[in-house]
């Protein structure tokens, strides 16, 4: 097919950027950020309601706003941004034109229409069923329809990603294997296809049920299949944000992975096993055997956890190796001290890595253990855990890479660089705080999705310990910080797109604010040569000690709740 | 500068690593280089171990009389 597509050469990476891919990346990223702003505001309102001293929203609004929050941030913000990542990792990193850009625009339109339709359904008030929409709670039909349209649009995006891989191979735009970042994006796309397929299997009948064409949907079947969709979609995020860690390390430091083979193998572990972790949502559901639960949440999932721990070693390790090559060899941590902490792309990425590993990773494994899961199942511990993964982990990584995309793809300088510099710290601290304090409250038994834990109008009163209220207050304060960080992000991004100085072609690297070496490592295959990474190994040691201590502390808690004397 | 190409496959050399000697590709790399095999595995494994096994267990729950 003879197309006549325009491209430009990225001065920082030397990669070709085709106009069609560039426009799609821009459109998806912009819509993502808009929904982050809307959804983040809803999150703030929810947190202000759960802070007893403020108790902002009335009950009816609380559940409506909580539904909208979950959908807009977890689904719409993240998946729109992931589409931008898929197009970037295929067309840009492979030096290739995008497969069927028109169809990609159709997918984009479907996602946008779907997101708007579902939001309308929620805001109309009859669909406060939370984003999980468990049957037999029934939302308005257009609630499900919107999600289905959105999912079809996202599925189109995944197939365009695969199509672009084929074109790149046919047109020989790269040699050997695809770059590691593209491989990570492929992992995300594969998980996304499974996710969306299971979503369709359960949401299409639920849509028909809401219209009255199907009389009954079994709640346990719904929960089982819905979580294949709901939890696997989180694994798309993990694969995508880890790819972004590698990308930022390559662009800012010229870092090569410690071992291409090992990193790819870690992604392969994700492809094979990560999605099985969905089962931990069903750990207390009767009717499903312990064999199924334990196989899916432990034996198989630990192989995926092994994948995450490999990335947790190799990403900082590759940065350390690159820094040591530049001569930062003093002591264990000179490479880290001398890292560009004032560059929000780096600080955001590194905070994302630490918070995701220490808070999200450890708490996820603890919750996946059938016995100790009982202490915190369906408590606020659960949102605490996933705010560490999807907010401090994924969202912060996506924010960090946005600071690179603005000069590289949008070709604008950042406005308010001082604000941008502090933003990852504010957001990271806030997101880390909401995670820790929700987990703390959950450990004390505070339920999730609950409008009033003082049980003011309940027939059976119940008093939570004072510490629980303290946790909720600290959670509220952290929410203020996170919201401020989110607000600054939106101001800097939207302001830069509208008013940022246009970057003359050829100066992009300087404008990325990093002042770092050319970033062509991102598009290449190859490992760092025989690196020594003692600092990273020390950090990994601290991680393991924390992990082991926290794991056993939870068994101790369990023993106290249920003593054997 | 904006460029355009005519999709005849005559690209200027992309910035990939020079690796010209013909080599035998190890099996593991062949697997990792095959996106559709990975797609197949990534769908089949969770479909069997999570979805099908899970649904079979639910179907076997006796119906209350
Ligand atoms: C300003 C930032 C944010 C704040 C203050 C915040 C706060 C909260 C709070 C307090 C809850 C309610 C927990 C409950 O009562 O059960 C919640 C739920 C939730 N949040 Fe956030 N959040 C923020 C950002 C995000 C982001 C960026 C994401 C996703 C990427 C996210 C995903 C969710 C989800 C999925 C729920 C669960 C909704 C449900 O239970 O149906 N949040 N959030």
Query: Which residue ranges make up each domain of chain A?
Result: 15-253, 256-339+532-559, 349-453+463-501
User: A228 and B33 in contact by Cβ < 8 A?
Assistant: no
Tokens of A282: 């069903």
Chain-centre distance for alpha carbon A55: 28
CA atoms within 13 A of residue A543's CA, in its CB half-sphere = 22
Are A177 and A183 in contact by the 8 Å Cβ rule? The answer is: yes
With a 6 Å cutoff on the Cβ, whether A474 touches ligand 1 is no
Length of chain B: 65
**Cα separation of B3 and A564, whole Å?**
74
With a 6 Å cutoff on the Cβ, whether A73 touches ligand 1 is yes
Cβ atoms < 10 Å from Cβ of B2? 10
Range name among A272-286, A294-308, A515-529 with the lowest pLDDT average: A515-529
Is the peptide bond preceding residue A157 cis, with omega within 30 degrees of 0? no
What residues contact residue B50 under an 8 Å CB cut-off, 6+ apart?
Answer: A228, A275, A276, A278, A279, A296
CA of residue A387 to ligand 1 center, whole Å: 7
With a 6 Å cutoff on the Cβ, whether A237 touches ligand 1 is no
DSSP state, residue A393: I
Q: In the prediction, which pLDDT does A516 show? A: 39
Q: In the prediction, which pLDDT does A175 show? A: 85
Range name among A153-162, A279-288, A425-434, B45-54 with the lowest pLDDT average: A279-288
Check whether A431 has a pLDDT greater than 70. Answer: yes
Tell whether B22 is covered by a domain.
no
**pLDDT, average across residues A496-512:** 69
Give residues 292 to 311 of A whose Cβ lies within 8 Å of B: 292, 295-296, 300
Chain segment A102-136, per-residue pLDDT in tens:
999 999 999 999 999 999 999 999 999 999 999 99
Chain segment A300-342, per-residue pLDDT in tens:
778 899 999 999 999 999 999 999 999 999 999 999 999 999 9
Check whether A144 has a pLDDT greater than 90. Answer: yes
User: Which residue of chain A is at minimal alpha-carbon distance from B13?
Assistant: A173
Are A209 and B50 in contact by the 8 Å Cβ rule? The answer is: no
Q: Which residues does chain A have within 8 Å of residue B43's beta carbon, measured at their own beta carbons?
A: 190, 193-194, 197
The minimum CA-CA distance between B6 and chain A, rounded to whole Å, is 5
CA of residue A95 to ligand 1 center, whole Å: 37
Residue A250 has φ and ψ, to the nearest 5°, of -70, -45
**Cα separation of A475 and A47, whole Å?**
7
User: Which residue of chain B is at minimal alpha-carbon distance from A193?
Assistant: B43
Q: Which of A365, A382, A348 is nearest to A485 (CA)?
A: A348
Tokens of A203: 């949401």
Q: Model's pTM, two decimal places? A: 0.92
Q: Which fold has domain A15-253?
A: Cytochrome C Oxidase; Chain A (1.20.210)
What residues contact residue A362 under an 8 Å CB cut-off, 6+ apart?
Answer: A546, A547, A550, A551
**Cα separation of A314 and A335, whole Å?**
15
Share of chain A above pLDDT 90, in %: 82
**pLDDT, average across residues A222-233:** 95
Q: Which residues does chain A have within 8 Å of residue B54's beta carbon, measured at their own beta carbons?
A: 224, 279, 282, 288, 292
**Cα separation of A155 and A147, whole Å?**
12
Domain count of chain B? 1
Q: In the prediction, which pLDDT does A513 show? A: 41
Check whether A202 has a pLDDT greater than 90. Answer: yes
Share of chain A above pLDDT 70, in %: 94
Q: In the prediction, which pLDDT does A518 show? A: 45
Question: What sign results for the dihedral spanned by CA atoms B3, B6, B12, B16?
Answer: positive
Chain segment A440-490, per-residue pLDDT in tens:
999 999 999 999 988 887 888 888 999 999 999 999 999 999 999 999 999
Q: In the prediction, which pLDDT does A526 show? A: 67
Q: In the prediction, which pLDDT does A139 show? A: 97
Q: In the prediction, which pLDDT does A505 show? A: 61
What residues contact residue A18 under an 8 Å CB cut-off, 6+ apart?
Answer: A5, A6, A7, A91, A96, A97, A98
| Confidence band, pLDDT 50/70/90 cuts, at residue B20 | low
The minimum CA-CA distance between B46 and chain A, rounded to whole Å, is 6
> Touching check for A169 and chain B: CB below 8 Å?
no
Q: In the prediction, which pLDDT does A523 show? A: 66
Give residues 453 to 512 of A whose Cβ lies within 8 Å of B: 505
Tokens 């209220």, residue located: A469
Q: In the prediction, which pLDDT does A564 show? A: 62
Q: In the prediction, which pLDDT does A454 show? A: 85
Check whether A163 has a pLDDT greater than 70. Answer: yes
User: Which residue of chain B is at minimal alpha-carbon distance from A94?
Assistant: B14
**Cα separation of A15 and B16, whole Å?**
10
CA of residue A70 to ligand 1 center, whole Å: 6
**Cα separation of A482 and B6, whole Å?**
48
Helix ranges (H only) for B1-65 are: 27-32, 35-46, 53-59
Note down the domain range covering B54: 27-59
Tokens 């834990």, residue located: A453
In the three-class reduction of DSSP (H, G, I as helix; E, B as strand; rest coil), residue A175 is classed as coil
User: A292 and B54 in contact by Cβ < 8 A?
Assistant: yes
Helix ranges (H only) for A231-284 are: 232-253, 260-273
**pLDDT, average across residues A273-300:** 90
**Cα separation of A335 and A319, whole Å?**
8
The helix or strand, by DSSP H or E, that contains position A6, with its residue range, turns out to be: strand A5-9
Question: What sign results for the dihedral spanned by CA atoms A163, A168, A169, A175?
Answer: negative
Out of A97, A279, A289, closest to residue B50 by CB: A279
Chain-centre distance for alpha carbon A366: 20
Q: In the prediction, which pLDDT does A370 show? A: 86
> Touching check for B13 and chain A: CB below 8 Å?
no
What residues contact residue A378 under an 8 Å CB cut-off, 6+ apart?
Answer: A284, A447, A448
Check whether A381 has a pLDDT greater than 80. Answer: yes
pLDDT mean across residues, chain A: 92
In the three-class reduction of DSSP (H, G, I as helix; E, B as strand; rest coil), residue B2 is classed as strand
Ligand 1, atom nearest to A47 Cα: 10
CB neighbour class for A215 (10 Å; exposed up to 12, middle 13-18, buried from 19): exposed
Tell whether B10 is covered by a domain.
no
Residue A411 has φ and ψ, to the nearest 5°, of 55, 45
**Cα separation of A364 and A404, whole Å?**
30
Q: How many CB pairs under 8 A join A and B?
A: 144
Check whether A15 has a pLDDT greater than 90. Answer: no
Are A254 and A304 in contact by the 8 Å Cβ rule? The answer is: no
Q: Which of A220, A211, A65, A227 is nearest to A132 (CA)?
A: A227
Helix ranges (H only) for A171-259 are: 180-211, 219-230, 232-253
| Confidence band, pLDDT 50/70/90 cuts, at residue A10 | confident
| Confidence band, pLDDT 50/70/90 cuts, at residue A298 | confident
Q: In the prediction, which pLDDT does A515 show? A: 40
Tell whether B47 is covered by a domain.
yes
CA of residue A361 to ligand 1 center, whole Å: 18
Range name among A15-19, A263-267, A546-550, B47-51 with the lowest pLDDT average: A15-19
DSSP state, residue A176: S
Q: Which residues does chain A have within 8 Å of residue B45's beta carbon, measured at their own beta carbons?
A: 272-273, 275-276
Question: What sign results for the dihedral spanned by CA atoms A518, A523, A527, A529?
Answer: negative
> Touching check for B40 and chain A: CB below 8 Å?
no
| Confidence band, pLDDT 50/70/90 cuts, at residue B3 | low
């Amino acid at each position: 097919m003879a197309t006549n597509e325009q491209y430009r050469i990225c001065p920082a990476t030397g990669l070709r950027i085709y106009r069609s891919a560039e426009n799609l990346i821009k459109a998806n990223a912009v819509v993502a950020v808009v929904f982050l702003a809307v959804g983040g505001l809803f999150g703030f309102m929810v947190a202000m309601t759960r802070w007893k001293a403020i108790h902002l929203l009335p009950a009816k609004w609380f559940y409506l706003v909580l539904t909208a929050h979950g959908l807009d941030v977890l689904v719409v913000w993240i998946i729109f941004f992931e589409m931008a990542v898929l197009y970037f990792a295929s067309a840009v990193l492979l030096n290739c034109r995008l497969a069927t850009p028109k169809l990609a625009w159709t997918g984009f339109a479907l996602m946008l229409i779907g997101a708007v339709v579902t939001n309308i359904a929620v805001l109309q008030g009859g669909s406060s069923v939370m984003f999980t929409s468990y049957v037999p709670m029934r939302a308005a039909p257009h609630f499900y329809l919107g999600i289905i349209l959105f999912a079809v649009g996202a599925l189109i995006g995944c197939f365009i990603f695969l199509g672009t891989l084929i074109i790149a191979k046919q047109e020989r735009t790269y040699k050997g294997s695809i770059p590691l970042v593209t491989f990570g994006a492929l992992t995300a796309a594969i998980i996304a296809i499974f996710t969306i397929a299971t979503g369709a299997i359960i949401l299409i009948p639920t849509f028909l049920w809401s219209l009255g064409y199907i009389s009954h949907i079994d709640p346990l079947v719904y929960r089982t299949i819905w979580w294949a969709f709901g939890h696997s979609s989180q694994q798309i995020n993990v694969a995508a944000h880890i790819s972004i860690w590698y990308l930022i390390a390559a662009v800012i430091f010229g870092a090569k992975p410690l071992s291409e083979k090992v990193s790819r193998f870690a992604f392969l572990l994700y492809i094979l096993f990560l999605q099985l972790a969905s089962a931990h949502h069903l750990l207390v559901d009767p009717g499903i055997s312990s064999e199924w639960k334990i196989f899916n949440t432990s034996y198989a999932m630990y192989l995926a956890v092994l994948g995450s721990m490999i990335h947790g070693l190799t990403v900082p390790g590759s940065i350390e190796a690159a820094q040591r090559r530049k001569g930062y060899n003093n002591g264990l941590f000179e490479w880290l001290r001398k890292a560009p902490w004032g560059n929000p792309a780096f600080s955001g990425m590194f905070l994302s890595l630490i918070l995701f590993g220490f808070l999200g990773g450890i708490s996820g494994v603890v919750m996946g253990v059938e016995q100790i899961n009982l202490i915190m199942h369906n408590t606020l511990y659960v949102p605490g855990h996933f705010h560490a993964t999807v907010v401090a982990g994924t969202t912060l990584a996506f924010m960090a890479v946005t600071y690179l995309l603005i000069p590289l793809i949008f070709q604008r300088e950042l406005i308010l660089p001082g604000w941008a510099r502090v933003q990852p710290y504010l957001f990271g601290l806030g997101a880390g705080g909401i995670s820790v304090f929700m987990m703390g409250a959950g450990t004390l038994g505070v339920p999730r999705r609950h409008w009033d834990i003082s049980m003011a109008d309940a027939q059976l009163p119940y008093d939570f310990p004072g510490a629980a209220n303290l946790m909720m207050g600290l959670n509220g304060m952290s929410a203020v910080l996170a919201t401020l960080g989110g607000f600054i992000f939106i101001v800097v991004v939207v302001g830069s797109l509208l008013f940022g100085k246009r970057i003359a072609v050829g100066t992009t690297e300087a404008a990325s604010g990093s002042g770092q070496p050319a970033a062509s490592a991102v598009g290449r295959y190859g490992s760092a040569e025989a690196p020594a990474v003692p600092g990273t190994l020390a950090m990994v040691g601290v991680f393991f000690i924390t992990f082991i201590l926290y794991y056993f502390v939870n068994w101790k808690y369990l023993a106290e709740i249920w003593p054997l004397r | 500068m904006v460029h355009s190409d005519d999709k005849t496959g005559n690209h200027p050399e992309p910035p990939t690593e020079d690796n010209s000697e013909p080599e035998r590709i190890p099996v593991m790399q062949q697997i990792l280089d095959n996106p559709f095999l990975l797609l197949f595995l990534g769908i089949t494994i969770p479909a069997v171990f999570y979805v099908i096994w899970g649904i079979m267990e639910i179907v076997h729950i006796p119906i209350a009389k």
